[in-house]
A and B are shown apart, each in its own frame.
Chain A
Amino acid sequence: MLLSGAEIIMECLLREGVEVMFGYPGGAILPTYDAMTKYPQIHHVLVRHEQGAAHMADGYARATGRVGVAIATSGPGATNLITGIATAMMDSSPIVCITGQVPRGAIGTDAFQETDVTGVSLPVTKHNYLVADVNELAYTIREAFHIARTGRPGPVLIDVPKDVQIEKTEFIYPEGEIVLPGYRPPARADEETVRAAADMINRAERPIILAGQGILKSRAMRELQELAERAGIPVALTLLGKGAIPEGHPLVLGMMGMHGEAACNLAIQEADLLIALGMRFDDRVTGNLKTYAVNARKIHVDIDAAEINKNVRVDLGIAGDLRTVLAQLLPSVETKTHPEWIARIRDWQEDSDERDIVHQQTDKLLGAQVINDLWKYTGGEAVTVTDVGQHQMLEAQYYPHQRPSTMLTSGGLGTMGFGLPAAIGAKFGRPDEEVWAIVGDGGFQMTMCELATAAQEKVDINIAVLNNAFLGMVRQWQEFFYEERYQATPMYNPDFCKLAEAYGIPSMRVTQRSQIEESVAFARSTKGPALIEYVIEKEEIVYPMVPAGADLHNMLRRPKPEEK
C-alpha cells in the first residue's frame, strides 16, 4: 500500500488506539491535517494555543493511563508546546507530540517558522526524534508510543519535515518486537534485597509509607493497601500520590510536605522507617534535607534508578516496578499493628482538627470552604483537575479522593494554566466521569482561551474559578517573608461570568457559602461547559506551611481558636 508520510502517521496513530488528538494546524503540518480528512475515526480537537494541546494530551493521559497525543506546526507552534511537554516530563505523564518541520532541504537555513525543536525539547522529553526518512516513520511512531508509556512514562516528541509528510512509500506496519538495546526498564527486585526490605519493615516500631504517583502508574493500589493493612503502617501521600489508596482509610494521613497535614510531617520526622514508594523526595516534600527524617532508616522503591540516592540517602534502594516489587515483598511482611505509634499520630491529628478553618465560624467565603463543600456536594466522586497555587493546596487538603487518578494536577513543574486544558483532556478520556476544573483567577487567565475549545467541542466540564483577585500563593509568601509588600500580586480581573457568557458558556457567581450547594447543582445540570465564579476572601492563608528550606517539623500553623 503506497501511502504518504502524513497518511502513515494517521495509520500508526490508529494502530496505537488513538481516539482523539489535540492540536493546531499550520504550514509545516498541513499535509498531516489534510490526511486527517481520510481518518474520521480519530477526532481532532482544535485548541486555541498549542500549550493547551499539550496540557489536554497530558490531562487525557493522566485520566486514562493511555498515551495522549498533541500535534502542532513547526516553529512557534512547536515552541508553544514546550511548557506542556515540560509539565508532562516532571510528572511522568505519557504523551506523544507530533510537530511539523520545514522541508529537509530547508533545515538549518532559518527558514520561515523553522525552530530546532528536537534541540529545544531535548531536556524536557523522555526521548525525541527528527524523522529524516519516510521509511523510518512508522517504526519511529511505534517506538515513540512504546517509550512514552513504559518504564517511567514521559513525553516523546516526533518532528516530521513537511516533505517527509508528503513523500510516498510502501506502508508496512512494523508488527515485530521493538528492539531498543539501551531501554530496559527494571521490573523485579532480587530476592535478597526484598528479604532485607521485609526485615526492615518487620522490625520497625514507627514505620510510615510515603506513597507517590508511582503507585498509580504501576497500578499497585491493591498491593499498597495490603502492605499498609497487614503491617499496620500509616500512609502519607505526595500531591500526585492522592488516590493511591482511599483517603478515608483509617491508616491514611493525607498529603505530606510544604502544605501537607501537620500529623503527616511530624510522623515522618519521628518515624524510625520510611518506606518510600514511587515518589522522588522533591524539595516540596522534604524541606531541609539535613534535618529530614533523621531518625529513620529508609527504603526507596522507584522504577527510575536515577531517583535513588538523588536527594535523600537511603539504606535500601530498589529499582523496580512497584506492583511487581510489592507483590514480591508482601509474603515476607509480618502481620502487625503499632498501637502506640498510631495513637501518637492521632494526637497530632486531633490538634490539627482544632485548628481547622472549615470548622470555624466566619462570615467570609473562604477557599477552603469552597473546596470542602465541592467535595461534599459532589459526593467526593468527581475527577478534579486543578491549576497551581492556593486552591491547588486547598484541594489536596479538603478534597479527599477515594479512587485512583481522580485528582490531576501539575505537581513537579507547578504550571499555572494547566487546569482548564487538562480538564478538557481528562473529560475526553473519561466521558462518563464528572470532571471539575478547579482553578484560581491567576492561572485560569493564562489559558482561558481554551474556553472556546470547551464551547466548540461542547465538553461537559464544570469550571470552578476561585477568585480572590490576587496571585494568592505568591501573596501569602509576600505576607510571610517580604513584609506584606504585595508587588505584582493584586489582579485586575474581567467579569468572569460575562466572559463565560461571551463564549456561550452558562455561568453563576457565588459570594456566600450557602450558595455552594446550588452552584454544584447548576453546574451538574448544565450540558456542556459551565463556569462558577467563587468570589472568595482576598487574604486567605494556606496552613500549615513549611517555609522553603525550613525543617519539615517547623511548620507555620493556624492558631487554635482560643489562641487568637
Chain B
Amino acid sequence: MDQEQLQQTEKQTLVALVENKPGVLNRVASLFRRRNFNIDSLTVGRTHKPHISRMTIVVDVKRANANLIAANLYKLINVIEVRNISQEPYVSRDLALVKVRAEDPDARNATTTICERYPARIVDVGPKVLIVEITAQEDVVEAMIDELRPIGIVEMVRTGVVAMGRGTRILDTQYEPPVLATSTNGQRYSV
C-alpha cells in the first residue's frame, strides 16, 4: 500500500460493473436503503463499453461491512462484477467545482496562491466570484476546500470518488449483450 492510501485506511472502495439498463442505479440505491448500509459516496458513469456502466462506492468500515455490501450487490441480477479495490494499490479521484468570493484583490491573490499548491485551476473569472476546479484524491480536495473556506465559498459541487486499480489490476467483463436479430417485419428481437 503506498503513501497515498495510508491516509484512507478507514475507507474501503468498491467498484461495481453493472449492466447499462434503465433502473439499475435505482436498484443499487434501493438495496443500500433497505439494508441500512451507510455509504460515503456513490458515483456511476459510463465505461468504454456502451452496455456497461461502472459504479464506485466508498464505505466507512466503521459503519458498514464492505464484504456484506459486495455480497448483497451480487444479488442484483444487473450487477456483473464487484471488487474491493482498496485491498491493493489504486488511484482515486474526486472532482470539485468551488465558487469563491473574489471582490477584493486580496481574496483573488489568496485563491491563486492556494491553487498553485494543489492540482487545481481557476476555470472562470468574474468581477465578483471565481470558480476553482480541483481534481485530486478525496482528502486533497478536502484540504483545499478547508483553505478556501475563509475566503468565502458561495457555491460548491463535487462528483464523488471514482477509482481504478493500479497497473494490470484490470476490472473488466467479457460479457456481450444477447445478439439482436432482425425479424421479417424489420423489428429486432433477442435470440
Contact = CB atoms under 8 A, between A and B. Distances in A.
B is bound to A: yes
Contacts of A138: 189-190
A468 B175 CA distance: 59
A181 B175 contact: yes
B93 interface: no
Main secondary structure of the interface of B (DSSP, over half): mixed
Contacts of B189: 135-136, 138-139, 169-170, 172
Contacts of B41: none
A445 B183 CA distance: 52
Given A122-B27, A170-B183, A179-B178, A135 B190 contact: yes
Q: Looking at chain B, what size class is its interface with the partner chain?
A: 20 to 34
Interface string A525-558: 0000000000000000000000000000000000
A178 B74 CA distance: 18
B184 to A, nearest CB: 5
Contacts of B27: 122
Nearest to B74: A305
Contacts of A126: 77
B67 A135 contact: no
B185 A182 contact: no
Contacts of B72: 306
A532 to B, nearest CB: 41
A135 B77 contact: no
B111 to A, nearest CB: 45
B86 to A, nearest CB: 19
A183 interface: yes
Interface residues of A, number: 28
Given A127-B77, A135-B183, A181-B80, A306 B190 contact: no
B184 A182 contact: no
A170 B185 contact: yes
Contacts of B68: 306, 309-310
A182 B23 CA distance: 15
Contacts of B23: 118
Interface in A287-303: none
Contacts of A127: 77
A108 interface: no
Contacts of A180: 77
Contacts of B26: 119, 122
A182 B183 contact: no
Contact of B77 (A169, A172, A182, A306): A182
Interface in A303-336: 304-306, 308-310
Interface of A: 2, 118-119, 122-123, 126-127, 135-136, 138-139, 147, 169-170, 172, 174, 176, 179-183, 304-306, 308-310
The 6 closest A-B pairs by CB, nearest first: A135-B189, A181-B175, A170-B183, A306-B71, A139-B190, A182-B80
13 contacts: A123-B30, A123-B34, A135-B190, A139-B189, A139-B190, A169-B183, A170-B183, A170-B185, A176-B191, A182-B18, A182-B79, A183-B77, A306-B72
Interface of B: 18-19, 23, 26-27, 30, 34, 65, 67-68, 71-72, 74-81, 173, 175, 177-178, 183-185, 187-191
